[in-house]
Structure 1
Amino acid sequence: MPLGYGAATALKDKDGVSDPNTGVLPVSALTFEHEGEVHDVYAVPMPDGTTRELALVEPGRESSVFIDPGDPGAGPIEWDGRWRTLEPVTGLNPQWGNFAEAWNTISFLRLTGWTLMYALVTMVLTVVSSAVVAYGFARFRFPGRGVLFGLLMATILLPPAVTLVPKYAVFLQMGWVGTYLPLIVPQLFANAFNVFLLRQYFLTIPRELEEAARIDGAGPIRTFLRVIVPQSVPALTAVSLFHFFYAWNDFFEPLLYLAGNRDIVPIGVGLSYFSGVYNSEPHLILAASLLALALPVAIFLAAQRVFVQGIVVTGVDK
């Protein structure tokens, strides 16, 4: 429902957004061009009891002249009455140009390029690091494994605000503030939620497959790459999509670490700047927001089956 309302508002003109009588759909008053002039169209009651949609050519106080937009050659039609009491005729009039205006105003290609770079690079890093850590917890036995896994899971409960100031202070001392390094480098150290999801999936893979690979002379790394990874495509896809959508919508950390460098901000921060400048034109803001949603929605629809499979199978014994 909110998405539909936003799409309808994005297709309105500025007057339609501010007019409370226009309703939800992008409608506007119909007009008719005649002899180089634009005339409004009204619903005019006729003496025979019918109502006709006529264009007002010569407004008068007690009598006005109209013309039929469907048959202007029929000539003028005189009507007795006050034209101000007539209801204007409205119709659907979507403003598709709002999307083009938002695209050009917000420098969408530049924002999309930086966002794709941020989302794809961090997605690859977090999937690789989380898969390696999850494989270690799922298959290797070592002292303190349960305690370490419990501590890792406990970090999920840690509010991000607790680590915000220390992380910013460290990155500031390292000279990374103003670059993407504070956003990319931490992905090399896995993510607790992704580790949990992948570990649960790895536990459902039969150990006989790994034992067969071990008999053939495969070591842990080769077994992981040749056996575990091909069997875990649904879970890896789910984790990839989780992080891609998170990075695509990430706002606070890019706003914090890229402060003062607006040329490389991702699309979430760019939209906030855009809404701040064009806060009196919500139709353009919503048009830009829908453009930003297009790629993630398309990716999710394309990978929906594998994504759902990775979520459903996780934690279910085979």
Structure 2
Amino acid sequence: MTTLKTRLLNKYGTSPRKRWIIEILPFNLFVWLIALLYILPVLYMVVAAMMPTEQLGDREAPLYPAVVKTFKYNGIDYKIYHVPTADGLKEWALIDRGLEKSNFIDPQNPEAGLIEWQGHWTELTWVYQLSPTWDNFKILFSSLPFPSMILNTLMIVFIGEIGVLISSVLVAYGFARFSLPGGNLLFYILIATILIPEKITFIPSYYFFIRVLQWRDTLYPILLPLYFGNAVYIFLLRQNFKSISIELEEAAMLDGAGPLHRLFSVILPQSWPVITTVALLHFFYTWNESRQAAVYLSTSSAFLPVSFGVQNYQSLIRIDNVIQASSVVVLIVPVLVLFLAQRFFMQGLIITGMER
């Protein structure tokens, strides 16, 4: 009976190793393959950021940071080539070039003098050696006002987080707990605004902020709308608030707690996962946002965020490695934030999707 029961529970038999090979291993390989497809571009960006500038124009260069190996002979640096000989492939430095024969020297035995080689030297390939460099990052910070752009972005994120969290939490709590006249209709209208492309509102927003309020080259047009809530965040918060048992609030009401007291003492302590989710979503949006900065801050460099700042200076700095290095620096920060907070992020999404 025990053996029959075990086989009914495990259709592949009692061997855990056999079950792991048949069921778990293929799934793990598939997951790792998908992860590798996403990680490879990021890894290449990191590697390319440490490549010497001259390597970018070399078609024969390897994919890792490397420079052509050289040998100093009589005070002059000569490039080392892969030279086929009767004794195998040698690494020799090319001294004298010729159409039919060239002179090389063996870096391992320079006392032997010049070695004559029959063949065309242009058919040979260089010898590369690993040579990562941090000069690209030095050029980045010396050519771009990168520290100030980072501070501007963090300031926009911090002030925006306060506004969007306070306004979205209050509105979501009102929709979740209070029976307002026409409240459902207002909520549906709010959700419908999610379908409106942001580009459609650019022209009226620009006219209102620039022509009417004269807010040019200032952060007000970027920060002020955040203090009026966000439809997506309000929806996520409302769904989470509705999943919290109302009996807890009723118990607080018996103790004389008002709406705000109940919000801060009952609702918010149980909603940290979804609040963290909203904060992360807004962080990613603000970190990568460049359209609003291009519209409202294009003529001023004092408040440029890092996303628009890198794009703005890209046309002025023609060093590909520097642009790649800056892109790596910009992209790694939100990736690290997501990695460190992914547990709260996923838990918030799961809780938000639960029915009351």
1:47-196 counterparts in 2 under 5 A? 47-48=86-87, 50-59=88-97, 62-68=101-107, 71-72=108-109, 75-76=112-113, 78-82=115-119, 83-172=121-210, 173-196=212-235
Unaligned runs of 5+ residues in structure 1 are none
* Residue identity opposite 1:88 in structure 2: W
Give, in whole Å, the separation in 1 of the partners of 2:325 and 2:65: 13
Give, in whole Å, the separation in 2 of the partners of 1:74 and 1:96: 36
Shift of 1:57: 4.0
Shift of 1:141: 1.0
* Residue identity opposite 1:317 in structure 2: E
User: Residue 17 of structure 2 aligns with which residue?
Assistant: none
Contact 1:56/1:67, CA 8 A, preserved across alignment: no
TM-score of the two chains, using structure 2 as the length reference: 0.82
User: Residue 19 of structure 2 aligns with which residue?
Assistant: none
User: Residue 77 of structure 2 aligns with which residue?
Assistant: 38
State which drifts further: 1-10 or 284-293.
Answer: 1-10
User: Residue 26 of structure 1 aligns with which residue?
Assistant: 65
* Residue identity opposite 1:151 in structure 2: I
1:220-235 counterparts in 2 under 5 A? 220-235=259-274
Contact 2:78/2:93, CA 8 A, preserved across alignment: yes
* Residue identity opposite 1:119 in structure 2: V
Give, in whole Å, the separation in 2 of the partners of 1:33 and 1:203: 75
TM-score of the two chains, using structure 1 as the length reference: 0.91
Give, in whole Å, the separation in 2 of the partners of 1:112 and 1:260: 18
SS in structure 1 of the partner of residue 302 of structure 2: helix
SS in structure 2 of the partner of residue 136 of structure 1: helix
Larger RCO: 1 or 2 (CA < 8 Å, sep 6+) = 1
Could you list the per-position Cα deviations for residues 20-55 of structure 1 after superposition, in whole angstroms to 9, with x for gaps in the alignment? 33354333322233453322111123333x222222
Structure 2 residue 55 is the aligned partner of structure 1 residue 16: yes
Structure 2 residue 253 is the aligned partner of structure 1 residue 199: no
1:238-257 counterparts in 2 under 5 A? 238-257=277-296
Give, in whole Å, the separation in 1 of the partners of 2:109 and 2:199: 69
Shift of 1:283: 1.8
Could you list the per-position Cα deviations for residues 126-183 of structure 1 after superposition, in whole angstroms to 9, with x for gaps in the alignment? 0111011001111111211100000100111112232222211111221212100011
SS in structure 2 of the partner of residue 132 of structure 1: helix
State which drifts further: 72-81 or 256-265.
Answer: 72-81
1:308 pairs with 339, 346, 352, which one?
Answer: 346
Contact 2:104/2:114, CA 8 A, preserved across alignment: yes
Give, in whole Å, the separation in 1 of the partners of 2:341 and 2:117: 64
Percentage identity across paired residues of the two chains: 35
Give the aligned length.
314
SS in structure 1 of the partner of residue 324 of structure 2: helix
User: Residue 34 of structure 2 aligns with which residue?
Assistant: none
What is the RMSD of the two structures over their aligned residues, measured on CA atoms?
2.0
User: Residue 4 of structure 2 aligns with which residue?
Assistant: none
**CA 1:246 to 1:63, structure 2 compared with 1: closer, same or farther past 3 Å?**
closer
Shift of 1:73: 6.3
State which drifts further: 265-274 or 22-31.
Answer: 22-31
State which drifts further: 259-268 or 80-89.
Answer: 80-89
